[in-house]
């Protein structure tokens, strides 16, 4: 679906144009066309390929989707893939945006995502001096918008992790803690898959041999790279803390199980003594004088009670009970 198609010259908007008129504006000096598509069909991608002369491999990646974040260069064209992370019902939905940037065109194709980039377009139009830098600045603005959307999600993950850390020492919460920690770890992994490859790819846009499209805005791409570095470090810290929390939680479970085993062993020892005494006096021997004694039965019960009480006191002293 076509979201918008706009022509710009010298950093200012000329007009909204039709797809058929794109070629007329591409030949104008200092003019570029910015097209935005959502969930593009193969037919729409074919039209864009014909209008802008896009590389076949890049079009194939945009059509199939499910790509790893990356930056690829085809002659004078730069192709960028980024993941769009959105939280919905306590789960992270992963979409994609594919950006084609050439000397006089910029094409963004958004898939499986509800959040648009209208704010990015408005921001660029408010800064005509920056927009005059060309399509490289628009590419930076799109990348910056995608990366900035990761920060609130990471802040929520950090808050959730702090809450879970406080619950670790709560009795009876071990099972739910483990379940929530693993769900949190899955979210961190999804973000890592979006941030780390993009960070490695963004380094190509500000250092070394920078593509011609990005040469005028290389310092801005370095800012994007710095943000991604911060995000990646935060995710590494969260992941390490989650691993530690899981280990502590498992240790607490082991401690609780040990306490239960101690109690069971203590009570088993007490009943073992009582059982041994009852077994001795339950034998049918002829010469057991206490069986014929008037107070033999109370004496047997008293001995069993005394031994059991002594063992209970010993186990209580050892904190087994």
Domain containing 30 — which CATH number? 3.30.460.20
**Chosen domain end from 94, 111, 129:** 129
**In this structure, is residue 224 part of a structural domain?**
no
Rounded Cα–Cα distance for residues 306 and 289 (Å): 21
**Chosen domain end from 77, 105, 129:** 129
Ranges of H-type helices in the chain: 22-26, 42-52, 56-64, 118-125, 128-131, 135-148, 150-167, 174-202, 218-281, 289-292, 296-317
Rounded to 5 degrees, what angle do the CA atoms 39, 43, 47 make?
105
**In this structure, is residue 60 part of a structural domain?**
yes
Total domains present in the chain: 2
**Chosen domain end from 129, 160, 195:** 129
Tens digit of pLDDT per residue, the chain (321 long)?
A: 888 899 999 888 898 888 888 888 888 888 999 999 998 888 999 999 998 888 899 898 888 878 899 999 888 889 999 999 988 877 888 999 999 998 899 999 988 888 888 888 898 988 888 888 888 899 999 999 999 999 999 999 999 888 888 887 777 777 788 888 888 999 999 999 999 999 988 888 887 677 888 877 788 889 999 999 999 999 999 999 888 888 887 777 776 777 777 777 777 777 787 787 777 666 665 656 666 666 666 777 787 788 778 777 777 777 766
**In this structure, is residue 141 part of a structural domain?**
no
Rounded Cα–Cα distance for residues 116 and 106 (Å): 16
Whole domain around residue 92: which residue ranges? 1-129
**In this structure, is residue 244 part of a structural domain?**
no
Is pTM beyond 0.85? Reply is no
Rounded Cα–Cα distance for residues 203 and 70 (Å): 11
Do residues 63 and 75 make contact, with C-beta atoms less than 8 angstroms apart? no
185 contacts: CB under 8 Å, gap ≥ 6: 239, 242, 246
* Residue 294's CATH number: 1.20.58
**In this structure, is residue 35 part of a structural domain?**
yes
Which of the 8 DSSP states describes residue 126?
T
**In this structure, is residue 297 part of a structural domain?**
yes
């Amino acid at each position: 679906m076509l979201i918008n198609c706009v022509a710009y010259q010298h950093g200012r908007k000329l007009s909204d144009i039709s797809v058929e008129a794109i070629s007329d504006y591409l030949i104008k000096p200092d003019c570029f066309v910015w097209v935005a598509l959502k969930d593009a069909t193969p037919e729409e991608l074919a039209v864009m390929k014909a209008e802008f002369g896009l590389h076949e491999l890049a079009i194939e990646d945009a059509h199939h989707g499910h790509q790893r974040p990356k930056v690829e260069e085809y002659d004078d064209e730069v192709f960028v893939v980024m993941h769009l992370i959105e939280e919905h019902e306590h789960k992270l939905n992963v979409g994609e945006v594919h950006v084609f940037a050439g000397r006089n065109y910029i094409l963004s194709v958004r898939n499986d995502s509800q959040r648009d980039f209208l704010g990015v377009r408005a921001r660029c139009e408010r800064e005509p001096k920056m927009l005059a830098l060309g399509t490289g600045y628009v590419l930076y603005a799109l990348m910056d918008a995608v990366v900035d959307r990761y920060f609130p999600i990471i802040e929520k993950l950090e808050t959730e992790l702090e809450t879970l850390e406080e619950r670790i020492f709560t009795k009876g919460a071990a099972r739910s803690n483990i379940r929530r920690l693993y769900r949190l770890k899955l979210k961190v992994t999804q973000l890592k898959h979006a941030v780390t490859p993009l960070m490695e790819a963004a380094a190509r846009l500000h250092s070394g041999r920078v593509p011609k499209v990005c040469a005028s805005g290389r310092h801005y791409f370095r800012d994007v790279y710095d943000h991604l570095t911060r995000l990646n470090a935060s995710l590494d810290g969260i992941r390490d803390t989650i691993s530690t929390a899981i280990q502590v939680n498992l240790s607490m479970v082991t401690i609780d199980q040990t306490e239960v085993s101690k109690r069971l062993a203590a009570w088993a020892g007490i009943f073992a003594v009582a059982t041994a005494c009852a077994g001795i006096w339950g034998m049918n021997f002829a010469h057991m004088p206490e069986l014929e004694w008037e107070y033999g039965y109370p004496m047997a019960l008293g001995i069993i009670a005394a031994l059991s009480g002594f063992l209970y006191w010993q186990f209580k002293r050892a904190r087994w009970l």
